C-alpha cells in the first residue's frame, strides 16, 4: 500500500484537466486519473480538486492553499505560476519566490507535496518563444523541491509530451492521452504501481505537415486562441471568472460533491453551478 488516503489538487487549468473532456462538458485530467489510481477501489480514499482555469499564482495562494492547509491531506499536488510567467514583462524570479512560500507552508504542515516543471515547447510553433522563461522557472522549481523535500514531475523531460498528439489545438493544454501519461508519470514519482506505461511509444504517424500547412495552423491558432487571450489580459479578465472548483472538498472519489461551491478568500461558500466550457488557461 502507498499510504495515501487523501489527495488535494491545487492549481490552474492544467490541474483542472483541460482539454481532457468528458461527455457532459466537464474535464477529467491527470489529477482525476491519478486519484483513480490512488483510490484503487478503496472507499476510504478522499479527493478534492480545487483547480480553476486562468488562475494566477496569487489567486491560487489566496483561494486554494488555505483549504489545502486546513484539510491537511496526505498529498497535495501544486502546479502554478505558468499563467504568470507567460505575461510579457513578468518577473520569473519573483513568481518563483511566491511559489516557494506555498511549498514551504505545505511541507511545514507535514504534507507530501508534488510539483511540476513546465513542458519543453521547443518543437511547438510560436509557443517556443516561451522556452527561455519556462526553463528559468523550472530551474527555480528544482531548487525549491530540493530545499523543501518536495517531489518533482519533470514534464520538460517527458519525451512522450514532445509528440504533437499530446497537445490540444490551443498549444497550452494536453489531450486526453497527454493527461493519461502525466497521471502515470506522477504515480511513478510517488512510487505507486500502475498497469500503464507513460513511456509507451506513440503509434507511427503517416502525415507530414508542410510549411504552408504549418503557417495556416499558426494563423488559425492566433485568431482562435492568442488574440482572445490578449483581449482578456487587457481587460483584466480570465477564462476562470465565475467558475467553481469541480471537487471543492475532500470526498470519496465515487461521490461527487452535491452542492457546487465558490472559493472566496480561502473559504468555500455555496454558489450556483457554472457549465464548464473553455479553451485556454
Q: Spell out the domain ranges in the chain.
A: 6-202+211-270
pLDDT band at 21 (very low <50, low <70, confident <90, very high): very high
Could you tell me whether strands 75-79 and 6-11 are parallel, antiparallel, or unpaired per DSSP bridges? parallel
Does the pLDDT value for residue 148 go beyond 80? yes
pLDDT tens for 265-277 read: 333 333 333 333 3
pLDDT band at 124 (very low <50, low <70, confident <90, very high): low
pLDDT band at 87 (very low <50, low <70, confident <90, very high): confident
Could you tell me whether strands 46-49 and 6-11 are parallel, antiparallel, or unpaired per DSSP bridges? parallel
Report the alpha-carbon distance of residue 111 to residue 219 in Å, rounded.
45
pLDDT tens for 180-202 read: 999 999 999 999 999 999 999 99
Report the alpha-carbon distance of residue 18 to residue 210 in Å, rounded.
28
Average pLDDT for 95-124: 94
User: Picking from 84-88, 108-112, 275-279, which range would have the lowest pLDDT averaged per residue?
Assistant: 275-279
pLDDT band at 257 (very low <50, low <70, confident <90, very high): very low
| Strand (E) or helix (H) holding 225 | none
Instruction: Specify the CATH architecture of the domain 6-202+211-270.
Output: 3-Layer(aba) Sandwich (3.40)
pLDDT band at 211 (very low <50, low <70, confident <90, very high): very low
Amino acid at each position: 500500500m502507498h499510504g495515501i488516503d487523501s489527495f488535494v489538487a491545487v492549481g490552474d487549468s492544467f490541474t483542472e484537466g483541460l482539454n481532457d473532456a468528458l461527455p457532459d462538458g466537464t474535464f477529467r485530467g491527470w489529477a482525476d486519473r491519478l486519484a483513480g489510481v490512488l483510490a484503487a477501489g478503496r472507499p476510504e480514499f478522499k479527493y478534492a480538486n480545487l483547480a480553476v482555469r486562468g488562475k494566477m499564482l496569487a489567486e491560487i495562494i489566496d483561494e486554494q492553499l488555505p483549504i489545502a492547509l486546513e484539510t491537511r491531506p496526505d498529498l497535495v499536488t501544486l502546479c502554478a505560476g505558468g499563467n504568470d510567467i507567460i505575461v510579457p514583462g513578468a518577473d520569473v524570479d519573483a513568481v518563483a519566490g511566491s511559489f516557494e512560500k506555498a511549498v514551504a507552508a505545505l511541507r511545514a504542515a507535514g504534507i507530501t507535496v508534488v510539483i511540476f516543471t513546465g513542458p519543453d515547447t521547443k518543437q511547438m510553433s510560436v509557443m517556443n518563444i516561451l522556452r527561455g522563461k519556462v526553463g528559468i522557472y523550472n530551474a527555480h522549481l528544482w531548487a525549491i523541491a530540493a530545499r523543501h523535500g518536495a517531489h518533482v514531475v519533470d514534464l520538460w523531460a517527458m519525451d512522450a509530451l514532445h509528440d504533437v498528439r499530446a497537445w490540444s489545438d490551443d498549444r497550452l493544454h494536453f489531450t486526453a492521452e497527454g493527461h493519461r501519461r502525466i497521471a502515470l508519470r506522477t504515480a511513478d514519482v510517488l512510487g505507486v504501481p500502475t498497469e500503464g506505461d507513460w513511456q509507451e511509444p506513440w503509434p507511427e504517424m503517416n502525415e507530414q505537415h508542410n510549411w504552408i500547412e504549418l503557417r495556416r495552423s499558426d494563423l488559425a491558432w492566433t485568431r482562435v486562441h492568442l488574440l482572445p487571450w490578449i483581449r482578456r489580459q487587457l481587460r483584466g479578465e480570465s477564462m476562470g471568472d465565475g467558475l467553481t472548483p469541480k471537487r471543492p472538498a475532500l470526498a470519496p472519489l465515487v461521490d461527487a460533491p452535491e452542492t457546487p461551491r465558490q472559493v472566496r478568500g480561502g473559504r468555500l461558500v455555496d454558489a450556483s453551478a457554472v457549465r464548464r466550457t473553455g479553451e485556454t488557461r
